[in-house]
Amino acid sequence: MLAFNHILAGSIVGAISPAPLVPAVAFTVHFILDVFPHAYGEEPPYSRFLKIQIGVDAFMSVCAILFVLLLFPDRWQIIGVGAFFGLLPDFLWLLWRKGPKWLDTFLDWAHWIQWGERRYGWIFDAFYGMLFCITLYLLAGQPWD
């Protein structure tokens, strides 16, 4: 799944969960989301399509963070914790086949559950992002009214 959706989902967790549970719940939600169809199919490394997708995702991630900060200026810390832990599992991929055996086993499982990765998965990601943004807006109590 694209990073901006993990940031938005983790932010929702930060907005609705008791603070002590936010890291664990956001981390878990990451893997629940990865079970659903989403972007990032098996692209060749450094392909033009993958570079564009990563660039757009990075831009959308910055927009997601700014959106959340705008909606929840007084609770940005705990919501930021949710966003961080919602995205954290994707950074663990940097250690795949380089870290301890238990981490490789865990990441093998994390790769296996992502059966729904598709080249056209950005369509699903756009839909999920829209739902997450609407949810965050409603949780914030329509701050622009």
- pLDDT tens per residue, range 25-81: 999 999 999 999 998 766 677 788 888 888 999 999 999 999 999 999 999 999 999
For range 13-30, the mean pLDDT: 97
Is residue 125 over pLDDT 90?
yes
Q: For 82-111, what is the mean pLDDT?
A: 94
User: Over the chain, what is the mean pLDDT?
Assistant: 92
Q: How far is it, in rounded angstroms, from Cα 113 to Cα 78?
A: 28
Structure token digits, residue 77: 């810390």
pLDDT of amino acid 99: 87
Looking at the predicted structure, is the pLDDT value of residue 143 above 80? no
Task: Output the pLDDT for position 119.
Answer: 80
Q: Is the pLDDT of residue 134 over 60?
A: yes
Specify burial of residue 75 (Cβ count, 10 A radius: 0-12, 13-18, 19+). middle
| pLDDT > 70 fraction of the chain, expressed in percent and rounded | 95
Quick check: 145 pLDDT over 60? no
pLDDT score at 76: 92
pLDDT bracket for residue 144 (50, 70, 90): low
